[in-house]
Amino acid sequence: MSVTARSTPNIALIKYWGNRDDSLRLPAADSLSMTLDSPSVEITVDHADVLTVQSFEADGSEKSLKAKDITRFARHLELTKKYVQFLAEASPLPANVSITIRSQIPSSIGLASSAAVFGCLAKAYAGLIGVAVTTPSSMTLTDEQISVIARMGSGSAARSIYGGFAALLKGDGDAMGTSHAVQIADENHWPLHDIVIVPTQKEKDVGSTEGHALAWTSPHYKKRLDQIMRRQKECTDAILAKDFEKLQRVTEEDCWDMHNVMQTSAPPLKYLNDETYRITDAIEELREREHLPILYTMDAGPTVHVICTEEAVKTVREFAHALQGCTIFETKTGSGAILL
Ligand code: PMV
């Protein structure tokens, strides 16, 4: 019997960058994000004789996957089986599965789809385990356990399991399950908008999987790790207290710090471009002029996420749509991964 799940991307406020174990994606530090309500990805998994992965774009056309993408799914399935076996002392996951991905995430908007994809796949695997009620080894996974499965595919995906605001905790030691995500506050706590401004649609040269491995080569990385716990706490406090000014300060501080690490790694990773700096300067001016709660942040790409409250969204929308040559995508705080 097949199982289908749906998930969405998240935007990191405290960034995950660098692992202490790249193969298990055990992060070197905690991170924190807001789950978005769109665009979504749906994944159907079913028992199969061999592993197959098919991916379809929003217009229904099939996307050709690279060999390295298939390898990533195969490795993720092996890790998931190992983890579930460790939890249950018997693996209720089939030896092989068929994976069908239907993504509404336009490849042009620069929103990391891997978080949505692996969040969705983890939820679907949990569903497949849950419906195997006829086998003595069937079990119900907790959200924390599902977040571990998501993390092993894409670190940031662990946070997309939850709605609202979620933290990925680094955990201790080298066990697969030591690093999992937790919810800080649900999607009704503080609805915020994220107006996504995409200055370029060029695919990046170095993906985040390769990028994480370079973090340690930056002379600024150790200092970044020393600062993260303090920032994580400030960010959590700001969210719980709905203190936008505090959230803005810590989010932008952490964003620039991550990009400083990226730009000083060997080789340097320059994800931002001139347009990014032009947009962030303009947002700073806008914020000062209008005295509005607006913040910006960028992941591994030139796309600028402009996060604001209801009070500021009209102004931010007008600002974004007036920019020449940019693609704009509007999203807001969402509820995490679900089984359909
Ligand atoms: O989950 P990954 O391996 O694609 O890494 C995501 C890294 C950033 O987007 C730059 C930061 C984050 O925490 O999402």
Q: Which atom of ligand 1 is nearest to the CA of 154?
A: 1
Distance (Å, whole) CA 313 – CA 307 = 9
Cα–Cα nearest to 16, from 26, 29, 25: 29
pLDDT recorded at residue 307? 98
Phi and psi angles of residue 298, each rounded to the nearest 5 degrees, phi first: -130, 135
Does residue 151 line the site of ligand 1, with CB under 6 A? no
Pocket test for ligand 1, best of 13, 206, 208 (most atoms within 8 A of CB): 208
Check: pTM over 0.85? Answer yes or no.
yes
Task: Give me the pLDDT at residue 89, please.
Answer: 65
DSSP run (H or E) holding 314: helix 310-322
pLDDT of residue 200: 75
Beta bridge partners of 339: 5
pLDDT along the chain (340 residues), means of 10: 96 98 98 97 97 94 93 97 85 90 80 90 94 59 96 98 98 97 98 94 81 98 98 98 98 98 97 96 97 97 96 98 95 97
pLDDT for 133: 46
Cα 113 to averaged position of ligand 1 atoms, centre (Å): 10
How big is the CA angle at 128 (ends 140 and 91), to the nearest 5 degrees?
Answer: 70
Domains and CATH numbers, the chain: 3-189 (3.30.230.10), 193-332 (3.30.70.890)
The distance from CA 55 to its chain's CA centroid, rounded to whole angstroms, is 19
31 lines ligand 1 (CB under 6 A): yes
In the prediction, which pLDDT does 104 show? 93
d(CA 241, CA 34): 15
Find out whether 101 and 56 touch, Cβ atoms under 8 Å. Answer: yes
pLDDT at 88: 80
